[in-house]
Structure 1
Amino acid sequence: MKFATWNINSIRQRRDLVLQWLEREQPDLLGLQEIKCTDEQFPADAFREAGYESVVVGQKSYNGVAILSRVPFTLAHRTLPGWDTDPPQARYVEIRTDTLTFGNLYLPNGNSGGEAGYDNKLSFMSALREHARDMLRAGTDFVLAGDYNVCPTDEDLAPGALSPDDALVRPASRAAFRSLLWLGLTDALRALHPQGRFYTFWDYQAGAWPRDSGLCIDHALLSPRLAERLLTAMPDREERGMKQPSDHVPLVVTLRDGDGAR
């Protein structure tokens, strides 16, 4: 089983990049964030021709999440249980396959809208923790993958890349991320690479990519039985060097084959 998460920063602008990547990497599941289009505008037909069915939770010009799958699935949730906003924000979608539940999320950045905007970020993380707790209690094998907009430790950002009061590194943001791990979830990348700098995002500004001034803000958290099957996890850095790339790259995870769903 191979899956990936990728903040694509406009699927209509980068559809061909995704198609090329799918052909090369052949993942079973791909979670996309910040697709920046409505459901009707999403290029589902192009992905179907490539062998992938889509489930889309879109929003005009902003946010938006989608999952591409080449394995059979059922839709579980189009919103994060327990998290409501007015107006609604397209930030979560969840599916079930024969072997796992896959939740794809785009967590609020938290740097806009003052303290209310930051509280919105924390409320999402709180609802995510409760949803994860419920799935753990039910014995579900699941992945929560996506753009978390959190650098969990100082090693997850280049020196000087963010100010200490940035929402991605504020103590409450990091504590909320740790609370997911304390439930019993496993950070796929850090389980295999506990030390070192592995980035998934480089800003378009100030020469961040050529200077390698990046952030690790895209994560894949695994429930316990899936963590036992973890084989590899690594950002695909090459995508950032493509023509007109997203400012994020895919985080790719592989699991050893399991023996059935729970």
Structure 2
Amino acid sequence: MNYEVFGEPIESAERVFLGIHGWGGGTKTFVPLLPYLPAGLALVSVDMPGYGPSRRPAEWSVKHVIQPLVELIDELPGELELLGNCSGAIFGMCAAQLRPERFRRLVLIDPFAYFPWYFRLLLVPGFGRLFYATAFQNPIGRILTNLGLAKHRGEGSDLTASFNELNHDVVYQYLVLLWEVGGYQRFATLKSVPEIELLIGEKTFRAIRHSVELWKGIWPQAVEHICVGAGHLPIEETSSTLSRFAFGSSDDDQTN
């Protein structure tokens, strides 16, 4: 599994975050947060299997996709903090369930608790793959999709820009795997993690807002934070605010 370390070197860091990108991301997903990393923090940002230089899994199953994550968790020192963006939060939690004692905190950014109907359309046999290609693979389709989702993003941001240079066969396989993960109830075991924080954009999807209530129903320790002015891309749209929630940082803590 390919990964990059931002901030402090892992071996000298006081806090180690494991950063897992979402559906159309990669190791650069968390770059907008780098100016706000507090001193003493290492952010280990991965390319999930099949993304970037990371090898594809031996087979497309949740078990095989999270195995490299589990191996990386075993290599990292000390207590960890998970920083998972959207679907990355889901796969990160799948790995954390196999090593719950290694995590003291989960920071989940805009995480879906269930598979919304508009994702299910993309999995309809025959029609779904064509629908995906039209909305995310075709340049004109991406423009129209982004325009159609204007109320769920901050001004000037683009919800489909990251799909420009991706391997769409890989991206589509991850959509199938999200369906395989199942519902939020499977993650009830993570109530053993001391701290869980849900970071969402003020203008995010209704399914995310509903998801927050479902997550809080299974995790009594979960706390919700709203990034005012952000949509579904709070990492890009409200980097300073999200960093304050995720890292406890302020503008005075900037390392760059």
- Normalising by structure 1, we get a TM-score of 0.36
- Normalising by structure 2, we get a TM-score of 0.36
Q: Which has the higher strand share?
A: 1
The structure showing larger relative contact order (alpha-carbon pairs under 8 Å, at least 6 residues apart) is 2
